[in-house]
Amino acid sequence: MSWRPRRPIYTSAPSSSRSIFDFAGKEARAGQLELELGEPGFWDDPDRAQRTAQELNRLQVEMRELASLESRSSDLLELAQMAEDDSGMAEQLSSEVTTITAELARRELDLLFQDPYSEYPALLSVHAGAGGTDAQDWAEMLLRMYLRWADGKHLKIEMIDQSEGEEAGLKSATARFEGAHAYGQLRAEKGVHRLVRISPFDAAHRRHTAFALVEVYPEIPDEVEVEIDEKDVRVDVYRSSGAGGQHVNKTSSAVRITHLPTGIVVTCQNERSQQQNRETAWRVLRSRLLDFQRAQRAEHLADLKGDQISPEWGNQIRSYVLQPYTMVKDNRTGHETGNVDAVVEEGDLDPFIEAFLRQEATGRERLE
């Protein structure tokens, strides 16, 4: 698959959009989902049935939009032929070309979501790293950045766990994001984020550097098997420490699950009952374990290819500099902007996410 700019749509065959955007594959998948929804007893599992219905609805919407794009492309070909003999139609032709080109660009971006879990809900965790109070404040700033980004995307947000810092900010927090390409987009944020600024916690007003780690996992549905031996798991309960009104600190409703072989720890305290927190924590653990297994396979393949992976804490994926100049720069793609407020305060992450996905697609093409 090539990501180089294509020729203007009016010089291409109108049926090309079907192959470029895999119309046949979407049609086949939609047919399969329709058969599943019609199977006896399929709706006995409401959660699975709802996810299947949502996927079918998304595919049907995409196919309708692609069919409309194909029809408009065909009409544009005819308009282009007529415009050769009628200069008065040039403006109308130009406007339609611009509209369809923009639609193609949006559709092309959809093709970048190649990860098999791109459409799954995302579980995003932020952890304060090196930098003391500044790092905890930075963790809270990052979480707010992602919440504002998600709000602009109309994603459904659910806070799962928060651990407040001693003086300010957060030690860690986990949130769930559900909506179009939730994991497919947020996985671009996985890694260490570095902040450089004049510290508001330093009376001498010196410049400080702080780090925070962002982890992102796809939420795995129950039908995806993840083997967890109960002997490998320790479950602890304790009193919640976050928001929650009178219920907080009165009962041991918060849950901590530790997976002993991997050292993965999951906490949940945002639900009102221990049972709800336990179920949520198990859901997060399953997702983190699957992601851990995928990472192990990827590292194994990289070792076979001779690549060197250095997962050190200081290997930040992105730097946010507020002093002595303003800049946000992604170290992986080179994409940068001087408008730090737009990124950190308003959640304008789309250019960084798109740059990551396009770079990944380019690397995938070279391998193929």
Q: Which tokens go with 80?
A: 């282009």
CB atoms inside a 10 Å sphere around CB 180: 14
Q: What is the pTM of this model?
A: 0.66
Q: Are strands 264-268 and 316-321 parallel, antiparallel or unpaired?
A: unpaired
122-223+315-367 CATH fold: Alpha-Beta Plaits (3.30.70)
Residue 151 burial (CB < 10 Å; 0-12/13-18/19+)? exposed
- What is the structure's pLDDT at 313? 55
Dist. CA 267–CA 283, nearest whole Å? 11
pLDDT value, residue 353? 95
Burial category of 7 from C-beta neighbours within 10 Å (exposed 0-12, middle 13-18, buried 19 and up): exposed
Quick one: which of 273, 267, 113 has its CA closest to 185? Answer: 113
Terminal-to-terminal C-alpha distance of the chain: 9
Burial class (CB in 10 A: 0-12, 13-18, 19+), 352: buried
**pLDDT reading at 19 higher than 90:** no
Question: Which tokens sit at 51?
Answer: 């996810």
- Please report the pLDDT score of residue 43 as a whole number: 86
**Cα separation, 236 vs 250, whole angstroms:** 16
Q: Which residue did the predictor score with more confidence, 310 or 180?
A: 180
User: Residue 242 carries which side chain, given as an amino acid letter?
Assistant: G
Give the integer Cα–Cα distance in Å for 307 and 315.
16
For 78, the token pair is 């005819």
Q: Give the pLDDT confidence of 231-268 residue by residue, as tens digits.
A: 899 999 887 765 444 444 456 788 999 999 888 999 98
Residues in Cβ contact with 147 at an 8 Å cutoff, skipping those fewer than 6 apart: 157, 175, 347
Q: What is the mean pLDDT of residues 147-158?
A: 95
Reported as type and span, the H/E element at residue 354 is helix 350-367
Model confidence over 92-130: pLDDT tens digits?
Answer: 677 777 777 777 766 667 767 777 788 889 999 999 998
Helix axes 46-83, 23-37, angle to 10 degrees: 150
Q: What pLDDT, on the 0 to 100 scale, is given for residue 351?
A: 94
Residues in the chain: 368
Measuring CA to CA, which residue among 237, 56, 221 is closest to residue 123?
221
| Cα 236 to Cα 261: distance, rounded to the nearest angstrom | 17
Give the model's pLDDT for residue 55.
80
Average pLDDT, the chain: 80
316-321 vs 191-198, strand pairing mode? parallel
Q: Domain map of the chain by residue range? A: 9-110, 122-223+315-367, 230-305
Q: Which H or E run includes 364?
A: helix 350-367
CB 328 within 8 A of CB 337: yes
What Cα–Cα distance (Å) separates residue 109 from each residue in 105, 150, 242, 253, 355?
6, 18, 39, 43, 10
Asked if omega into 46 is within 30° of 0 (cis), the reply is no
Q: Would the pLDDT of 314 be above 50? A: yes
CB-CB neighbours of 74 under 10 Å: 13
Question: Are 124 and 213 within 8 A, CB to CB?
Answer: no
Q: How confident is the model at residue 306 (pLDDT cuts 50, 70, 90)?
A: very low
Q: Which fold would CATH assign to domain 230-305?
A: Double Stranded RNA Binding Domain (3.30.160)
The CATH code belonging to domain 9-110 is: 1.20.58.410
Phi and psi (nearest 5°) for 301? -65, -40
DSSP for 153-200, written as a single string: TT-EEEEEEEEE-SSSSEEEEEEEEESTTHHHHHGGG-EEEEEEEE-T
